[in-house]
């Protein structure tokens, strides 16, 4: 049987431990939340490719790479994005019909964590 003194001490201690153990440090990674063209979509040749992330990006360390289905890199021009959470590129010429791969690197400004990903789309 617990003594009243032990109960008086253990309840606040248990509450403190539950709060302390239940809080984890924030892991703010920039996740891809939207893009144009969309993954696995079939589209007319895009004039602009835009990726939107969940966190503000360190532009110096974040990038988009565009390749053909065979792996050959397509020359691109980085464009001003609509906000600090987006990256935009423009192909210098109209993309020919075929499948293309987007490879991206996103580095969050608040903690410097790097995330990467790829997806494909098809130009009709």
For the chain, the domain total comes to 1
Which one, of 78, 122, 79, lies nearest residue 101 by Cα?
122
- Establish if 111 belongs to a structural domain: yes
Q: Domain span at residue 89? A: 32-123
User: What is the full per-residue pLDDT of the chain (124 aa) written as tens digits?
Assistant: 556 655 555 565 454 444 444 433 445 699 999 999 999 999 999 999 999 999 999 999 999 999 998 999 999 999 999 899 999 999 999 999 999 999 999 999 999 999 999 999 999 9
Kindly compute the dihedral angle of the four CA atoms of residues 100, 82, 54, 30, in this order, to the nearest 10 degrees.
Answer: 60
* CATH number, residue 46: 2.60.40.1220
Contact, 29 vs 10, CB < 8 A? no
- Establish if 65 belongs to a structural domain: yes
* Interatomic CA distance for residues 97 and 74, integer angstroms: 14
Specify which residues 20 forms β-bridges with: none
- Establish if 13 belongs to a structural domain: no
Locate the DSSP E strands across 1-44.
32-36, 42-43
- Establish if 75 belongs to a structural domain: yes
How many other C-beta atoms lie within 10 A of the C-beta of residue 86? Answer: 19
């Amino acid at each position: 049987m617990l003594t009243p003194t032990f109960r008086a001490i253990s309840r606040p201690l248990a509450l403190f431990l539950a709060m302390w153990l239940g809080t984890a440090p924030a892991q703010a990674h920039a996740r891809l939340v939207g893009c144009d063209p969309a993954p696995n979509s079939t589209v007319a040749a895009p004039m602009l490719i835009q990726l939107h992330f969940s966190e503000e990006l360190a532009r110096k360390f974040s990038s988009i790479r565009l390749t053909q289905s065979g792996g050959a890199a397509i020359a691109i021009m980085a464009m001003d994005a609509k906000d600090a959470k987006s990256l935009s590129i423009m192909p210098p010429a109209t993309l020919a019909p075929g499948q293309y791969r987007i490879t991206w690197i996103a580095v969050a400004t608040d903690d410097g964590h790097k995330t990467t990903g790829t997806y494909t789309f098809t130009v009709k």
